[in-house]
Structures are given as structure tokens and as C-alpha cells.
């Protein structure tokens, strides 16, 4: 591509991105990025812990290092490298204003790989997220760009493939671009959850298993007698495709009452800033309690996700107040156009339920401001999605640095971070004030590609330990003075003339590893990180003869460990 054409192309990109018709994506523009048939291990819009899945996970037959090809003409404009999230990832910009993303790669194609390694040595950082000069790495459709892998927050070999709008950086449903996905299997609804009009965090929904009849799924009994004039619904369903055993997400649902549309949503595109709203799009509590995603056909007050195509009365509740017999129909659809239906009859039984009032409530639209003698908890007006009855308990423990605080239950979600301050019950020496931590279990699902954590660092403020948190649950204060543990596969004084690499792991018991640096003979050395394992493969940066390797690891509380190893190469 000559420089004049490149400048013309770049000048029209903003217009191309802005004018894209979100209802008609170009079919056939992008090819399959692999040379094997497209079988999906995951699809766009699947509910995942704290996020929606934003691409198509294309199976690689359980293998790594399959050639990955450019889905269309363009150039690679961004590359990121990380042990979590997308792992090794390529972002390719195309003349029509779309971006394709290829994630969890093992390696890039040789010329790009050489450039990235050189930049890593220049930056003295293996982890990176950089933009590349326009047009430097042009590729034609079908040309090699990388090799598939299992890097980042990946649990099995596959290629994560995305399409984005370059102008808005919204991620689009790549399944709508006409990739050769053979799918004639409709979604399978498994059960429904039925709610009254109160906050889902103040009720236990009625759950009904679904059974298949000739043309649809239904529940038992034949007529559901409901004890509220209003009804709201959630559906647990899986989608399938031929040749894959994986459970996929449903593309769209519509809810009808007596054949009149009441609510509907469609997962065409997602904004990364809205990704955490998955915790309001689906019933977070039922997911925590049952392990199943019940996607809601009503919108909670604090759910700002742009996925609903229609909502009656702005929330999707069904009005059964006339006590007449009504028919409910739910239509489920995948992005290949396969549909299935749920049908059942319902009737309000005329009863009146009294909701026990909250002594103290958290509500969407109202800032959180709880201040007690031994703790405080404050947050913005969008911290919770609906009304939550405030519940907490404090248990004094003379063996700990603070009382043990049980703040709500961990099955109630938080959208935005909140400030938690917990009173320290004894004087803290000045030199230990930078070593405070909250002991609070953080599951690996909240940190894709990382190990679970036992806690998080905190700061000292006027006798309190303070941190910004995003989950309810159990908290107490500890002092963290233990540095990370470095374990290597080589011993001091080893002869490594026959070895292919050096490996070490870094184990941090409470918080997480904040920084790691390795130097060979006083110069930064490139170690590739996979989880908490770091690997250096011998190359020209390790000279023959005697060498000294120094490894330093730092945790969130600035505890540092150092390991010095001499070896002969």
C-alpha cells in the first residue's frame, strides 16, 4: 500500500466507523482465521464472572501453534502481551473501519515477533500494550499473522476472535458477519425463575424446570397460580452447535404476554465500560447459589446495559392484576437464526403479600454512606443495582488486628468500587503501616488468568485500614511482611550447557505479585510469564561461560524477595 493511499484510508476511517449500520454487518468480508472448520467453544455475549464474553472462541482441535491468518486485508496496529486476559494478542485494522482481534496466541509471525522482542528489551518489560506505526505490518487476507495458543486467561487451547468498531471501540458480535459456522441446533431452555416486583435481592424466586413438548417447552403445573399482580422472569438456557460439546450463550430473547411483546434483548454489540453489568443482566445470586446463569427478561434499576430492544413500563414486568388467565411465551434465538419457545399459562390468585421493611437499605440512585464506630462503607449512587437490605456483623477477635466484619453476603453484587475502612484494634508501628492488608478471598474468576488471592493491600488512615473493594463478604485486617517465594528449576552453580530454558515460579500467599524483574549479568532479561511461572528460553542474550542471574519479586505491600543464581552456559 503506497503512502498516498494509506493517508486517504486513514482520513476516512472515522467516517467509516461512524456510519456503520448496526443492523446490517457485511457478510463474507472476513474469512475464517484458521484453516480448520469453525467449531465454537464459546460465543459472543456468554455470561462469565463479572463480564460478558466478547468474541468467538474457535476450537483448535486441542492443539497449539496452528497458523492464524488475517481475516481481511489491513495492518496490525496494536499488540498486547500479558499473562492474564487476552494473553498475546493482535489487533488488526481494516479499510472498512472494523478491527479484528486475535487472542491467546503463542507467538506472532516472525517479523512481528522480532519487532516485539526488540521493543520489550527496549522497554525492559515483557508485559506490554503498544500501538504500532501505521502500515508497518500490513497483511493481506489469508496471510500468516500468528500461531494459536493458550496464553492469558485461557483454560484450553483455542483462538479468541473478535470484531470491533474502530471509531467507538465497541465489540460487535462476530457471529453476525457471516463466518462459516454450521449450526442448525436451537437453544435449549432448562428452567425459568419467577419473581414478583420487589428487588431480586429481597426475595427467593420460584424456579420451575422445563419439559419439552412437541413444539415448545413448558412447566408443571399446567396453570401457574401466582401470588403477585406483577411477574418478572429469568431463563436459564444453553445453546449448542453440531460437533461441539461446549455450552454456548443465547443471542436473543423476547417475552410475550397473550402474544403482545413485553420485553426483549439482543446481544449485537457490547461496550467494555458496560461489561460488568452482566451481574445485573443475569441473576447474580442464583448464579452464586446454583452455578447457573438465569438471564433476566426485566431490567433492574441499576442495569445500564444497552442490550434491551423493548421494555414495557421500562422494566419488563408482566401485569396480571386482572386475575384473568394469561399465556406467556418466551422466544429464544441464536445468531444463526435457530429458535425455540417456552409457553405456559399463568393467573394471579388475588392474594396480597406484605414485604418486611428494611431497617437500613442500600438503593440504586442513592450514595452509600454507612459510618459506624468500628467501620465505614461508602460508595457512589450506582454501587448496587436494586434495593438491598443492609446487613452486617462485627466479631471481636483479640488475635487479629481488627474485628472480623461480615458485610452483607458475597452473593449480592457490587457494580462500582466502594471505600471500606476497618478499625485497627491496636497500635501499628510506623514501619508496619505500609504492610496492612485486608484478608478477603478473591476467586480466580474475578482475575482472569491469575491465581486466587487471600487478600488485598490496604492503607493506614487515622487508625483504620482502608481499601477500595468491589465485593461484599468477610473482611479483617492483617500485617503482611512476608515477601513472595521464588522457586527455580535450577540450582546455584549448575552447568546449563544442555538445558533449553530457565524457569521459576513466584508464590504470594496474601495479595499478588506486583512486580518481577530478572537481570542477567546486570542487564534485563526477557522472561515470558504464564500464570505465576516465568520462562526464559536460551538465546543470544545469554553468553557462553559463567553467568549471574538475579531475580527480584515485589508484592502489593512492597515486600521484596531476591534470588541470586550463578550458572555456566
What number is the average pLDDT over the span 337-349? Answer: 97
The reported pTM is: 0.93
Query: Which region holds residue 68: left if phi is over 0, alpha if psi is between -120 and 50, else beta?
Result: beta
The answer to whether the peptide bond before residue 566 is cis (omega within 30 degrees of 0) is no
Q: Which domains does the chain have, with CATH numbers?
A: 3-177 (2.70.70.10), 188-348 (2.60.40), 361-479 (2.60.220.30), 485-568 (2.60.40.10)
pLDDT of residue 471: 95
In the predicted structure, residue 359 carries a pLDDT above the cut 60? yes
Q: Across the chain, which distance is largest between two alpha carbons, in Å?
A: 88
Rounded distance between C-alpha atoms, residue 137 and residue 133, angstroms: 8
pLDDT of residue 7: 40
What number is the average pLDDT over the span 227-246? Answer: 96
Say which residue the cell 401457574 belongs to: 224
pLDDT in tens, 443-477: 877 667 777 789 999 999 999 999 999 999 999 99
Hey, what's the cell of 16? Answer: 467509516
pLDDT of residue 313: 83
Hey, what's the cell of 5? Answer: 493511499
Provide the 3-class DSSP secondary structure of residue 280: helix
* 356 pLDDT tier (thresholds 50, 70, 90): confident
Return the ∠ at Cα 385 (arms to 381 and 386), rounded to 5°: 100
pLDDT of residue 446: 67
How many helices, marked H, and strands, marked E, lie in the chain? 4, 49
pLDDT of residue 19: 31
In the predicted structure, residue 561 carries a pLDDT above the cut 90? yes
Rounded distance between C-alpha atoms, residue 400 and residue 463, angstroms: 15
In the predicted structure, residue 9 carries a pLDDT above the cut 70? no
**CB-hemisphere CA count at 13 Å for 502?**
31
What's the mean per-residue pLDDT of the chain? 93
Say which residue the cell 413485553 belongs to: 262
pLDDT in tens, 252-268: 999 999 999 999 999 99
Rounded distance between C-alpha atoms, residue 542 and residue 526, angstroms: 11
Q: DSSP letter for 149, please.
A: B
Contact indicator for 166, 98 with CB cutoff of 8 Å? yes
> What separation in angstroms does the CA of 145 have from each of 69, 473, 561?
5, 45, 38
What number is the average pLDDT over the span 363-371? Answer: 96
Say which residue the cell 522480532 belongs to: 114
Rounded distance between C-alpha atoms, residue 161 and residue 32, angstroms: 10
Rounded distance between C-alpha atoms, residue 117 and residue 123, angstroms: 10
pLDDT of residue 443: 80
Rounded distance between C-alpha atoms, residue 493 and residue 394, angstroms: 53
Gap between the terminal Cα atoms of the chain: 45
Amino acid at each position: 500500500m503506497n503512502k498516498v493511499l494509506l493517508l486517504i484510508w486513514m482520513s476516512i476511517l472515522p467516517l467509516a466507523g461512524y456510519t456503520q449500520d448496526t443492523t446490517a454487518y457485511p457478510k463474507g468480508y472476513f474469512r475464517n482465521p484458521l484453516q480448520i472448520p469453525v467449531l465454537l467453544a464459546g460465543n459472543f455475549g456468554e455470561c462469565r464472572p463479572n463480564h460478558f464474553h466478547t468474541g468467538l472462541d474457535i476450537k483448535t482441535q486441542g492443539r497449539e501453534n496452528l497458523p492464524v491468518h488475517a481475516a481481511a486485508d489491513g495492518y496490525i496496529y496494536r499488540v498486547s502481551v500479558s499473562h492474564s486476559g487476552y494473553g498475546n494478542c493482535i489487533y488488526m485494522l481494516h479499510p472498512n473501519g472494523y478491527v479484528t482481534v486475535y487472542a491467546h496466541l503463542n507467538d506472532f509471525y516472525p517479523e512481528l515477533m522480532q519487532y516485539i522482542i526488540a521493543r520489550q528489551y527496549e522497554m525492559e518489560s515483557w508485559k506490554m500494550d503498544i500501538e504500532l506505526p501505521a502500515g508497518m505490518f500490513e497483511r493481506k487476507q489469508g496471510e500468516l499473522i500468528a500461531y494459536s495458543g493458550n496464553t492469558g486467561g485461557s483454560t484450553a487451547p483455542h483462538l479468541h476472535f473478535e470484531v470491533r468498531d474502530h471509531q467507538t471501540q465497541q465489540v460487535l458480535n462476530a457471529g453476525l458477519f457471516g463466518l462459516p459456522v454450521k449450526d442448525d441446533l436451537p437453544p435449549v431452555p432448562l428452567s425459568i425463575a419467577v419473581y414478583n416486583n420487589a428487588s431480586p435481592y429481597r426475595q427467593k424466586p420460584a424456579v420451575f424446570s422445563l419439559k419439552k413438548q412437541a413444539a415448545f417447552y413448558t412447566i408443571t403445573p399446567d396453570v401457574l397460580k401466582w401470588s403477585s399482580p406483577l411477574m418478572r422472569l429469568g431463563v436459564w438456557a444453553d445453546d449448542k452447535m453440531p460437533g461441539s460439546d461446549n455450552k454456548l450463550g443465547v443471542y436473543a430473547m423476547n417475552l410475550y404476554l397473550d402474544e403482545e411483546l413485553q420485553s426483549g434483548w439482543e446481544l449485537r454489540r457490547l461496550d467494555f465500560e458496560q461489561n460488568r453489568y452482566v451481574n445485573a443482566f443475569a441473576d447474580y445470586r442464583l448464579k452464586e447459589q446454583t452455578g447457573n446463569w438465569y438471564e433476566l427478561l426485566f431490567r433492574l434499576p441499576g442495569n445500564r446495559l444497552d442490550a434491551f430492544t423493548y421494555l414495557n413500563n421500562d422494566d419488563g414486568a408482566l401485569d396480571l392484576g386482572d386475575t384473568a388467565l394469561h399465556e406467556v411465551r418466551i422466544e429464544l434465538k441464536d445468531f444463526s437464526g435457530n429458535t425455540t419457545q417456552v409457553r405456559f399459562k399463568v393467573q394471579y390468585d388475588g392474594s396480597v403479600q406484605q414485604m418486611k421493611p428494611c431497617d437500613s437499605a442500600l438503593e440504586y440512585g442513592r450514595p452509600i454512606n454507612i459510618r459506624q464506630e468500628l467501620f465505614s462503607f461508602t460508595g457512589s449512587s450506582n454501587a448496587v443495582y436494586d434495593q438491598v437490605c443492609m446487613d452486617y456483623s462485627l466479631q471481636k477477635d483479640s488475635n487479629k488486628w481488627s474485628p472480623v466484619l461480615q458485610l452483607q453476603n458475597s452473593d449480592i453484587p457490587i457494580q462500582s468500587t466502594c471505600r471500606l475502612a476497618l478499625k485497627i484494634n491496636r497500635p501499628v508501628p510506623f514501619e508496619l503501616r505500609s504492610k496492612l492488608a485486608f484478608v478477603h478471598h478473591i476467586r480466580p474468576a474475578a482475575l482472569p488468568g491469575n491465581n486466587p488471592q487471600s487478600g488485598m493491600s490496604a492503607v493506614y488512615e487515622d487508625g483504620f485500614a482502608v481499601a477500595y473493594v468491589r465485593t461484599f463478604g468477610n473482611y479483617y485486617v492483617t500485617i503482611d511482611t512476608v515477601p513472595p517465594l521464588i522457586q527455580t528449576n535450577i540450582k546455584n552453580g549448575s552447568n546449563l550447557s544442555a538445558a533449553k530454558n530457565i524457569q521459576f515460579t513466584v508464590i504470594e500467599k496474601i495479595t499478588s505479585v506486583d512486580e518481577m524483574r530478572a537481570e542477567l549479568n546486570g542487564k534485563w532479561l526477557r522472561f515470558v510469564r504464564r500464570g505465576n511461572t516465568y520462562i526464559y528460553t536460551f538465546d543470544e542474550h545469554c553468553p557462553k561461560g559463567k553467568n549471574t542471574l538475579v531475580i527480584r519479586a515485589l508484592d502489593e505491600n512492597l515486600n521484596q524477595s531476591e534470588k541470586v543464581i550463578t550458572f555456566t552456559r
